[in-house]
């Protein structure tokens, strides 16, 4: 059977060049060749992160790096603020619980975006808070937060600003050094177009000062150990994935960091125009470039839509997580996707909905997407 074409917000379609790089002979990770490879990866990844801060490399999924941030940046008597607007904000809260860190939570209805003023108010009310945990793109709802405005609030008050950019890195604007974001977390399997298994964290000077004071337990995730062995990593790294990442970064830099942002945003904009023209409702209040979340129309069953797309077109899009299961669909815009694929998924969605009895004029979504392309 042909593999499904992935229109999900991770893991994503991997370019052939990246897959071939991953298939190369494994090299020894304590030799100079590996250090040279990781140095070259590091210089390129810093351009995608848009930071001069140290980037640490972990062999894990993205959540491992989230846990590493909690374990390394905090002290047992710290108090932190968590923004919970979906599945991944919830993960920050659960990590704080797991480490017994006192945490305040701003809970948003899923699909809503945090208003920066809400953060300012929470910090005023609890002046003992010393760190903020948030997402760049809350992938479970397709919502992007206004981190530039939020950074102005945290920077003034010396609040450590920790951003889960696992899905958003490279496709949603983020300027860690300009804005004062202390830690940025990313994973290999989203916009970086590499299979799952690598996680990254950038660590600012201010964050390293907190690391020095941290008393929470860690071993595998120890930032100091990772820094000490920067270009070898403390443990056996996923060498093949690092080779794949090197090639993925070549592709990204050939396209240009700005162009990757622009084309992903264009795909998202075209998709939003298409589904709106089809009479569907966008789920998110502040939709971003990673994925477009759509409310499932009343009377239709999301399982049937997902199954139709898979069976008739070999296309995989995502449903919702937790209480959004059955309520939303998510179309991803990251990974190895071109305009022809984008028009394909919109046409496939139109036909699938039509078959299931949803009233629409066939072609109306594709046409709206074409108009967005024509104007761009």
Ligand X SMILES: *Cc1c(COP(=O)(O)O)cnc(C)c1O
Residue number with CB closer to ligand X (62 or 287)? 62
Q: Please, which residues bridge with residue 12 across strands?
A: none
Q: What share of the chain is helix, strand, coil (3-state, %, to 5)?
A: 45, 15, 40
Residue among 51, 54, 139, 141 that touches ligand X (CB under 6 A): 139
For 104-125, b/e burial (b = at least 16 CB within 10 A) is bbbebebbbbbebeebbebbee
Contact 261, 289 (CB under 8 A): yes
Between 139 and 264, CB nearer to ligand X: 139
Residues 147-166 that bind ligand X (CB under 6 A): 164, 166
Write down the least CB distance from residue 367 to ligand X, Å: 31
* C-alpha to C-alpha distances, 310 to 112, 192, 316, 317, nearest whole angstrom: 29, 25, 6, 8
Fill in the per-residue mask, 67 to 106: x = in contact with ligand X (CB under 6 A), - = not in contact. Answer: ---------------------x------------------
Which of the residues 6 through 35 are near ligand X (CB under 6 A)?
Answer: 9-10
Interaction of residue 167 with ligand X, rule CB under 6 A: yes
Calculate Rg over the CA atoms of the chain. Answer: 21
Figure out which of the listed residues 15, 17, 63, 206 binds ligand X, where binding follows CB under 6 A: 63
From 61, 130, 143, 202, residue interacting with ligand X (rule: CB under 6 A): 61
Q: Least distance (Å) from ligand X to the CB of residue 318?
A: 11
197: contact with ligand X by CB under 6 A:
no
Looking at 175-281, list the stretches that DSSP marks H as alpha helix, in order from N- to C-terminal side. Answer: 176-179, 205-213, 223-228, 239-255, 257-277
Q: Is 187 in the site for ligand X (CB under 6 A)?
A: yes
CB of 362 to ligand X, least distance (A): 33
Question: Nearest to residue 322, comparing CAs of 113, 87, 8?
Answer: 87
Interaction between residue 287 and ligand X (CB under 6 A): no
Distance of alpha carbon 321 from alpha carbon 112, whole angstroms: 15
Nearest-approach distance from CB 65 to ligand X, in angstroms: 8
Sequence-distant (6+) residues with CB within 8 A of 369 are 270, 271, 273, 274, 342, 343, 346
Residues lying near ligand X in the complex (CB under 6 A): 9-10, 61-63, 88, 135, 137, 139, 164, 166-167, 187
């Amino acid at each position: 059977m042909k593999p499904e074409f992935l229109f999900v917000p991770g893991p994503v379609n991997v370019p052939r060049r990246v897959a071939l790089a991953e298939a190369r002979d494994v090299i020894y990770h304590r030799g100079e060749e590996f250090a040279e490879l990781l140095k070259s990866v590091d210089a390129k990844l810093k351009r995608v992160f848009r930071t001069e801060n140290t980037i640490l490399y972990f062999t894990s999924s993205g959540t491992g790096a989230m846990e590493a941030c909690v374990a390394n940046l905090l002290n047992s008597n710290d108090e932190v603020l968590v923004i919970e607007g979906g599945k991944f904000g919830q993960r920050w809260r659960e990590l704080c619980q797991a480490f017994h860190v006192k945490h305040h939570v701003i809970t948003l209805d899923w699909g809503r975006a945090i208003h920066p003023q809400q953060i300012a108010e929470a910090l005023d009310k609890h002046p003992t808070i010393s760190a903020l945990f948030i997402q760049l793109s809350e992938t479970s709802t397709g919502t992007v937060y206004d981190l530039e405005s939020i950074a102005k609030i945290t920077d003034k008050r010396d609040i450590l600003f920790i951003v889960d950019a696992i899905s958003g890195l490279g496709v949603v604007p983020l300027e860690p050094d300009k804005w004062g974001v202390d830690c940025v977390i990313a994973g290999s399997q989203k916009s970086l177009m590499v299979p799952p298994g690598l996680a990254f964290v950038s660590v600012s000077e201010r964050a390293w000062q907190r690391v020095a004071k941290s008393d929470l337990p860690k071993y595998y995730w120890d930032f100091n150990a990772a820094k000490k062995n920067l270009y070898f990593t403390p443990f056996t790294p996923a060498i093949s994935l690092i080779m794949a990442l090197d090639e993925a970064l070549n592709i990204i830099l050939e396209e240009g960091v700005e162009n990757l942002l622009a084309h992903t945003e264009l795909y998202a904009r075209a998709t939003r125009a298409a589904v709106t023209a089809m009479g569907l409702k966008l789920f998110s209040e502040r939709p971003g470039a990673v994925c477009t979340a759509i409310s499932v129309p009343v009377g239709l069953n999301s399982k049937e839509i997902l199954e139709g797309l898979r069976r008739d077109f070999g296309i995989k899009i995502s449903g919702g997580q937790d209480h959004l299961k059955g309520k939303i669909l998510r179309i991803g815009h990251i990974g190895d996707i071109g305009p022809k694929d984008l028009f394909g998924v919109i046409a496939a969605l139109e036909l699938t909905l039509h078959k299931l009895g949803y009233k629409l004029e066939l072609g109306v979504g594709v046409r709206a997407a074409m108009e967005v392309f024509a104007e761009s």
